[in-house]
Each structure stands twice: as structure tokens, then as C-alpha cells.
Structure 1
């Protein structure tokens, strides 16, 4: 396959290189990790196989071999053009057979910020520290025009699995994101604690894969804090010196010295992943026990999906 156009910030992303944070190496990985896992399950890949994370304007990808792909996450109106330049619209969250000589394109961003392209058998991109995820700071696994990969060839199967609506993440441009309280939450003034949960925050244009900067009424601490840099994670919410907030995202640093007011629960990270500049968020605190229960429930549903896909393959 060859990238005729690379699109804006197209990268390889899998579940990240999480076991090297003690060395100060940031994890990278997909911002919408759930989308990558679901697409790989549909294709019967390993869940941690890399997909291509794309934004709009999106890439154009030419396939020289017959293969099977799945697209999900944001809806960028994907379609194929064959050798005769006929347009064939394809659906998100469904495995699609792609004939040799076909090009994958995207027409329009309907909603969401990031779409993902996965192929059956995975992308043979270079692996570093157990991950194929692009690291732009190091120039590792970048994607540029004419970038080429030799991907596995597959025949057209009798069944092309798709993802039911009940399993698709409940994306929204103005979601309520659930949090558990962070270590420094109680250092806020009473007014700021109330404001954090009741007011709306807008995602700033100054946001990227490292973090979302939020704009809202400034928050303040009861007393100034001098903190030693401590571990942070994807979803950690920090209070900046100007009283505004930042939510750390997939390319986050491994430690930080700003007050940690909360952490986005794992079940809501995919919803946050599809938000972008000018989208509006609200926050709701829940207990750690509730967050764990939501995560367990989600993982049970994923196991059912995997069992269903395996059953279809067994009786094909």
C-alpha cells in the first residue's frame, strides 16, 4: 500500500510503549484506544496491533493487493475508488474487502476528530520498545507522501463482520466526562471545587496529542503549593499557574509538577478522544469503585464481542 497523500498528522498508533515511563519515555499510542481495539477485534488481529490514526484533511491510500480493512472512530465519510474511478462508499465499524488497484479516500468530516484505519494482519511498521506507535519528537515511524508498506494479501471472505450500535463508543461534541479526584483536589478553594464540577469548559485551539488546554472560569488554590514532580497519566487534569486546566493526552510527559485535580476515568477516555477545539466539556466526579465497575462492564462486553467474532469464524 502507498500513501498518495499523507493527510494531516497521520501516524501509526497502537496501545503504546507503557513499560518505559521510568526512563522518561512517553507512551504515545492511540488517543482513541477503544477504536483501535474494536477494529482489530473485527479483523481478528491482536488488540494491540497498530492502526493508522488520521485527521481531516485525510490521507489517500492506494492498495496494490487484495486486502481487508476496517475504519472507525470519527466519521470522515470513507469511500473507495476502483480502477475505473467508480466511487464505493464504505461504512465505519465494518470490515471491508478492498480489491487490488483500489484507493481509500475520505470526503468530509461529519463529526469527531480522529479516525482509524486497520488492516487484517496488521501493518509491518518498525517496532521500537515493543510498540509501532509514531513518536514525532524522535521522528520515528513518520508517514509522508509516497510512504510505502507491503501489507498481507487476503481473499474475500464469506462474512465481513461489523460492530453493532450497542458496542460503539457514545461519542459526543459536548459530553459530561466522569472523573475521580486527584491528589491535590482538596487544595482547591470551596468555590473552585464547585466551579470545576458545575461550569462548562471549552477545548482551546492550543491543544494537541500531548494535552487539551481548557478555557473556563479560573480556579484557585487555598494556599500556594510547591510540588515535587510526580507521575501523571493519560487523562490526568492539572491546574496551570493561570488558573486554567489541561488534560494530559496520549503523548503526555511521564511526570508533572502542577496540581493534579482529577483523572478522567478509563471508560470515558474514548469520548474525550473524539473532542476537539471549540467543543465543550462538563465534569462529574464519581468514586474509584464506580469507575472500576464501569471499566469491568466494558471489558465484559468486549469479551463477548471477541467470542462472537471467533464463533462466526469457526462456522464459516
Structure 2
């Protein structure tokens, strides 16, 4: 039997996302997927799901939903807190609610996006091997669109052994949540306003003062920013090479420099090719920080090597693997 919720208030922008569709870049299909993949994965881990299971990505707060059945959910991310009966529910741990419960998302000023996982994952059709919503082309997710008032969402009926055991233990003890949680803070850098970058292919196209400026100045997230990319306000960069770049491959995390010298960080729904020069690429471990930046937030860049970026990525993956193992051992029935 599947779990079920109904949307009372959808919020500013709420969509179904998973880890994206990487196999179709050659067909010019964007990756899409969760903007903050770390929060997405931790929400899934907390209820015993695989990392790729679909979650709901809420942008900011001001949303609410009703449990139409008993539900086992978890949430992660800096955009909102979950509120039930006037009490803020803890993040990064399993939460059990009975049918009829109304849960509200209230503002967390720290960030922008929050991810809601349900045991078994949200049951929507796969499109090109992913459940992620790509709004521009209106496919994936829930009917290819953002969630609306009155939408009813179901979980998959196939729960993992861990999900089933978490559900059984909370039900038997009449608990809303257990006494453990995942420490997302320990997986994030202390300086959340600083993004580590690897210098990219066209760095030599810019004069020395511009490169120094890029690595020392502060930039502000512009109001034009969205899931395709963040436009940054700051001192324009100056090109010393005037030739044009042939359209070339780009991926989320690439930082392009427009013809006017402004910076754009490409994100989850970005195009697959672009003609602007690429000055740097945000390290994969810092992309979750990008996802939580809001218009008006300030950000700086610091250079690291490609090897350092890879080492940081592998360290985080190792930590995430340990979290999965720890939860598995805690709920192993043997």
C-alpha cells in the first residue's frame, strides 16, 4: 500500500526532482535534478531510500500538505523548517505522521531550497531514465509542471528493508521520530559564502587584473537567477582575447563570462552547450552551497586544483557511504 499526501499550498516553486538525467546530454537534454544534491540524498538516506529516489524540491517556504495516509518522510536543506502542531520538526531524520496530519513549511532565512523524501520515493513516471521535472520543456516529474493546490502524490509501494524497519519501530513505540539524525553540517564547509573553483579552459582570455578581481572580489546573486543559472553582479571582467568561442559543452557548475564581462554560474537546468568563455568550474562538493544562495547573497571564489577538487569529492562520497552503512546497521534485523 502506498503512502499519500495532498498539496494544500504549493509554495513559490515546488517540483519533483531526483539526481537528474546525464545520459541524454548528447541529445541536448539538460541534466535537471535536485539543485542541492547533498540535501536531496540525505533526505532519502534518513528514510532508508536509495539516493536516486525522487524528492520534492521546495523553493523557499510558504507551503503545506496533508497526510492522506500514515506517512514516513524526512527533509533536508536550508530553505524551510517543517512545522507540525506548532512544533518545528528536526531535519535529516525520519518523521512519522498519521493520516490527517497537516505539515507546514515555514521560512528558514539561511537558504533557499528544501527536499522532502518519502519512504519508497515519490511515484511519478520515468522520462529518459529520470523522474526530474524539466519545466522549460514541460516533461518529467508530476505532469511536467510545478506542484499545484489539490495535487495528490503517492509513494512507491516497494519499501526497502530499512524503510520498513524504521516505519515498524516508530509505529510500535508511537514515536514521531527517533533520537538520531544525520549531521548535514559536518558535510559542508565552514565558509558557506566561499565557493571553491577550478580554473577553466578560457582563463587565459582575460587580463591579469580581471583574473585577480575574479578571485578576490565579492559578487552578489542577481534577481534574474533561476534553476538554469545564477547571474552575478560585480566588477565586469575584461577580455584580452577578442576571438569568439565556438559553441562547446557546458555542465552545471561552469562559470561563463558574458559579452559584457558579467559572470553566470550554470546550474541544474542549464543548456548543454554554450558560446561564452568559461573562466572556472565550481567544485562538485560546493554546488550544494550554490543551490542555497538567494538573490542578494554575496559570494566569493577561491582557486583549488583539479586534484584537490577530486579529493574533496571522494572524501564526501566516503562520508556519505559511511552514513548509509551506519543507518543500515542500526536497522538490520539480524
User: Same fold judged by TM-score > 0.5?
Assistant: yes
Alignment of 1:72-91 (within 5 A): 72-80=76-84, 86-91=85-90
Task: Please state how far the C-alpha of 1:75 moved relative to its aligned partner.
Answer: 4.6
Encode CA deviations 1:290-310: one digit per residue, 9 max, x unaligned: 111111111111111111001
Q: Could you tell me which residue of structure 2 aligns to residue 83 of structure 1?
A: none
Q: Does 1:201 align with 2:219?
A: yes
Deviation string 1:197-239 (CA, Å, 9 cap, x unpaired) is 0111111011000000001111011121211100001010000
Q: Residues 299, 167 of structure 1: CA spacing in aligned structure 2 closer, same or farther, 3 A cutoff?
A: same
Please name the residue that 2:174 is paired with.
Answer: none
**Comparing 155-164 and 140-149, the one that deviates more:** 155-164
**Contact (CA 8 Å) 1:171, 1:274: kept in 2 or not?**
no
Alpha-carbon RMSD: 1.8
Q: Distance in 2 between matches of 1:296 and 1:168?
A: 12
The C-alpha deviation readout for 1:144-195, integer Å capped at 9, x for no partner, is: 11111233587452473511255443476x6111110110001110111111
The superposition leaves residues 217-271 of structure 1 with CA deviations (integer Å, 9 ceiling, x where unpaired) of 1101112121110000101000001111000010000000000000000011111
**Partner of 1:206: helix, strand, or coil?**
coil
Q: Would you say the 8 A contact 1:97–1:156 is kept in 2? A: no
Measured in 2, the distance between the counterparts of 1:96 and 1:9 equals 23
The offset of 1:125, in angstroms, is: 1.3
Q: Name the residue aligned to 2:25.
A: 21
Alpha-carbon separation, structure 1, partners of 2:32 and 2:281:
18
The structure 2 residue matched to 1:270, chosen from 285, 288, 298, is 288
Count, aligned residues: 310
Q: Is 277-286 or 70-79 further displaced after alignment? A: 70-79
Q: CA deviation at 1:106?
A: 1.6
Q: Distance in 2 between the 1:167 and 1:14 partners?
A: 23
Superposed displacement of residue 277, structure 1: 0.5
Match of 2:50 in 1: 46
Whether the 8 Å CA contact 1:171–1:271 is kept in 2: the answer is no
In the alignment, structure 1 residue 224 sits paired with structure 2 residue 208: no
Any conservation in 2 of the 1:177–1:284 contact (CA below 8 Å)? yes
Which residue of structure 2 lines up, in the alignment, with residue 65 of structure 1? 69
Encode CA deviations 1:65-91: one digit per residue, 9 max, x unaligned: 1121111111522112xxxxx434201
Q: Distance in 2 between matches of 1:15 and 1:43?
A: 17
Contact 1:75/1:92 (CA < 8 Å) preserved in 2? Answer: no
Q: 1:244 to 1:47 in 2, by over 3 A?
A: same
Aligned residue for 1:157? 169
Partner of 1:310: 328
Q: Which one of the candidate residues 273, 297, 303 is aligned to 1:279?
A: 297
The 1-side partners of 2:200 and 2:181 are apart by 38
Distance (Å, rounded) in 2 between the aligned partners of 1:168 and 1:95? 19
In the alignment, what sits opposite 2:103?
104
Question: Who is 2:160 aligned against?
Answer: none
Post-superposition Cα deviations, 1:107-141, rounded to whole Å, max 9, x if no partner, equal: 22331010111111110012100111111112233
User: Residue 173 of structure 2 aligns with which residue?
Assistant: none
Corresponding residue for 1:169? 188
Partner residue, 1:213: 231
> Which runs of 5 or more residues in structure 1 are unaligned?
81-85
